[in-house]
Structure 1
Amino acid sequence: MSDRPNYITPAGFRRLREEYEALFGVERPKLVETISWAAGNGDRSENGDYIYGRKRLREIDRRIGFLSRRMKSARIVDPATQEDKSRVLFGATVTLADEDDNERVITLVGEDEADAGAGRVSWNSPIAHAVRGASIGDVRKVRLPSGEREYEVVQIDYPKA
């Protein structure tokens, strides 16, 4: 785990909590019950339910541990309460235009809630680093795998409180 703060939106934290509770409170107890039943059936070396159950239990326990650590280190930031809405800060939805006037809309979110396909990019991604602190009209260079590109900040939006 790095020393960087784990910024996350309230909705993102809620999703982490829901996954944790589903795994810990629902899926894990059912699996423990299945493993118990399978263990009572005798020879465990050829018991598929037992072997698969133990493997799945380890996966669930690893995920529960990961979610627990992420929630402990989380710093919940509500984008609607950002004071300076004229600059790109955590939670901003930013409209960018490249050199060819192609527009791209991204929302800067925490690492645990990033989904590039939906336009939700990690606060620590290269494009987010480039536009952090920018105002409308600022031009920023971004180093991408396809090469360096320039983007102009066209619009900055924050969710309503």
Structure 2
Amino acid sequence: MSKAFTREIDTDDDDELPAAPPVPVGGKNYITRAGYDRLRSELFALIDEERPRIVEIVHWAASNGDRSENGDYLYGKKRLREIDRRIRFLTQRLEIAEVVNPSLHFGGDQVFFGATVCYADDSGQETTVTILGVDEVDSSQGQVSWVSPVARALLKARVGDVVRLVVPGGVQELEVLSVQYPAPADDAPA
């Protein structure tokens, strides 16, 4: 039988995306307005710009004939699967997102979602983290998810409190040194 009559199979084994950060079962998907807007703009860019551009490339490549050795076609189909997977992921996450305004706690000394917390561990080393949603954290920027162990230990603590964090080596005590929130946006017209 000629290869022309074999069925094309889209395999996703080699292009699996990493698993999405988990949202607690029955929990909320808390996110800041900035994080929500970033995810939303990514979704619309994929739908309105990236996907149509790749569809055009795949259409052009398919019209060139033999698809089995056509790199533009094969790469385009793979990229379309990646885009469609990301669109599904973003759509699902945005549907269950609950936007939280951390500036409501501006001036407070208790740790809630959106707080930037400075704490000291047992050895006196100070660390500063910002507690954000699972879909918006960037650990290289000192951000942690609100479901992470350190954030769970810090939530609801106040400046001066000592909280216990269970780590693989035992239990570590963290002293909350400061809590900051973003200032409320001035919505007054200029």
TM-score, length basis structure 1 = 0.95
Q: Residue 156 and residue 58 in structure 1: after superposition, are their counterparts in 2 closer, same or farther (change >3 A)?
A: same
Matching residue of 1:77: 100
Matching residue of 1:41: 64
Matching residue of 1:25: 48
Matching residue of 1:65: 88
Matching residue of 1:10: 33
Of 112-121 and 33-42, deviating more is 112-121
Equivalent of 2:158 in 126, 135, 148: 135
Displacement of 1:146 after TM fit? Answer: 5.0
Aligned residues: 161
Of 7-16 and 79-88, deviating more is 79-88
Supply the RMSD in Å over aligned alpha carbons.
Answer: 1.5
Q: Residue 92 and residue 45 in structure 1: after superposition, are their counterparts in 2 closer, same or farther (change >3 A)?
A: same
* Identical pairs, percent: 50
Displacement of 1:145 after TM fit? Answer: 4.0
One-letter code aligned to 1:142: L
Structure 2 unaligned spans of 5+: 1-22, 185-190
Structure 1 unaligned spans of 5+: none
Displacement of 1:85 after TM fit? Answer: 2.1
Displacement of 1:130 after TM fit? Answer: 0.3
For each residue in 1:128-147, what CA deviation from the matched residue of structure 2 results, as whole angstroms up to 9, or x when unmatched? 01011001111111123454
Question: What's the secondary structure of 1:101's corresponding residue?
Answer: coil
Of 17-26 and 32-41, deviating more is 17-26
Q: Which runs of 4+ in 1 moved over 3 A?
A: none
Aligned mates of 2:85, 2:31 — CA distance in 1? 21
One-letter code aligned to 1:25: D
Equivalent of 2:173 in 138, 146, 150: 150
Structure having the larger proportion of residues in helix: 1
Displacement of 1:86 after TM fit? Answer: 2.4
Matching residue of 2:118: 95
Larger Rg: 2
